[in-house]
């Protein structure tokens, strides 16, 4: 029995999809391995500063900029624990503004709650975005 041209076309299309899937990798196995924030340090001299997160992934595309992330800020003091602050406002896009009268150095952080943790559901997220092995990064902001 001879295969019809339509059957051959279907078999070729199925093989192409299979091969493309092998080359691109399985998206469900893709994991965010690390994050970075740029700029690493910035001074907000009476203006807002735009920070950008970059994600580094286990499969292509391996670098994603901007990487979607949750953002926040905390005070940076040498010997004290990190504590959330209202002196710095961070928008969901990474745009950071110092409040009127804010002075000193603050840490701006980005974290991704979805990737980087393979255990059970985690409800222990600190005010500074850490907890349960979440992928995160920090940068430094100086308010005048």
pLDDT greater than 80 at residue 120 = no
pLDDT in tens, 44-66: 988 999 999 999 999 999 999 99
Give the 3-state secondary structure of residue 71.
strand
In this prediction, residue 136 has a pLDDT band, given cuts at 50, 70 and 90, of: confident
pLDDT of residue 17: 39
User: Which one-letter DSSP state was computed for residue 42?
Assistant: E
Residue 125 structure tokens: 């997220």
pLDDT in tens, 12-47: 544 443 344 444 444 557 888 899 999 999 999 889
Q: Which domains does the chain have, with CATH numbers?
A: 30-143 (2.60.40)
Distances (CA, A) of 75 to 85, 86, 144: 6, 9, 14
Q: Determine contact, residues 90/73, Cβ cutoff 8 Å.
A: yes
pLDDT in tens, 71-114: 989 887 655 556 778 899 999 999 999 999 999 999 998 988 77
| Tokens 């700029």, residue located | 39
pLDDT greater than 90 at residue 143 = yes
Closest CA to 29 of 54, 58, 64: 58
């Amino acid at each position: 029995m001879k295969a019809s041209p339509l059957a051959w076309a279907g078999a070729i299309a199925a093989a192409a999809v299979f091969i493309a899937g092998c080359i691109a990798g399985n998206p469900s196995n893709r994991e965010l391995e690390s994050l970075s924030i740029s700029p690493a340090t910035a001074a907000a001299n009476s203006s807002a500063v735009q920070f950008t997160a970059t994600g580094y992934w286990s499969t292509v595309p391996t670098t994603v900029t901007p990487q979607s992330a949750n953002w926040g800020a905390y005070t940076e003091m040498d010997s004290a624990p990190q504590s959330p602050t209202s002196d710095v406002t961070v928008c969901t896009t990474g745009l950071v503004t110092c409040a009127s009268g804010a002075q000193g150095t603050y840490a701006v952080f980005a974290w991704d709650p979805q990737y980087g943790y393979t255990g059970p559901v985690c409800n222990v997220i600190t005010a500074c975005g850490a907890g349960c092995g979440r992928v995160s990064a920090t940068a430094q902001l100086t308010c005048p």
